[in-house]
Amino acid sequence: MAIFKAIGYHGTNKEIKSKEDINFQYKQYQDHFLGCGFYLWRDSPYRAKNWTDNQHESNGLNSVLEIELQVNEDEILNFTSSKWSNELEVLKIFNEVCMKKGLHFGSFIDFLIYELDIDLKVISMMDLKAKNHFVPINSNAKTLFAYGDIQICVKSKDVIQEFKKVDIF
């Protein structure tokens, strides 16, 4: 069975000493576009720090956690991979049923997991929603460099292999 591995970074203003301290309580926030879970920035500790600094007043606990994930590929929706399998079917269902009714994508994902018992533990998607992520590059042809941040929403603590606090402040 194929395994998906990733390193992600989570910014927080809470003290987290073990994975049992991670809160998976459901709260639908505008930026929780993948539903409830533990959000990580893939390969980007500075993005996690920036998010924390912008979201929380410093209470002396602001920190960035480095999280090592490992999950079976059949338990992830990985919208950042060219090796799509179930991802296309999920998007078709969302487009046909949910978009017309204005249902939030994250709520749809949570419905699949918590109501239909589909075994998904991780969702990975590039976040291009916040601002223009295209940078013109000088060349002979019109060229744009597209960039984006990959966000990972962890739905199950079992996939967290290791984590540690990283010092980037």
Task: Look at residue 24 and give its three-state secondary structure.
Answer: coil
Task: Tell me the H-state helices in the chain.
Answer: 45-55, 86-93, 99-101, 105-114
Give me the residue spans of the domains in the chain: 3-166
Return per-residue pLDDT of the chain as tens, 169 residues: 789 899 999 988 888 888 888 876 655 555 578 888 888 989 889 888 888 888 877 777 788 999 999 999 889 888 877 676 778 888 888 888 887 888 888 888 888 888 888 888 888 877 655 555 555 566 666 665 556 678 899 999 999 999 898 987 5
- Name which of 90, 116, 139, 105 is nearest 37 in CA terms: 105
**What pLDDT shows up at residue 141?**
62
pTM, whole model, 2 decimals? 0.79
Tell me the one-letter amino acid at 18: S
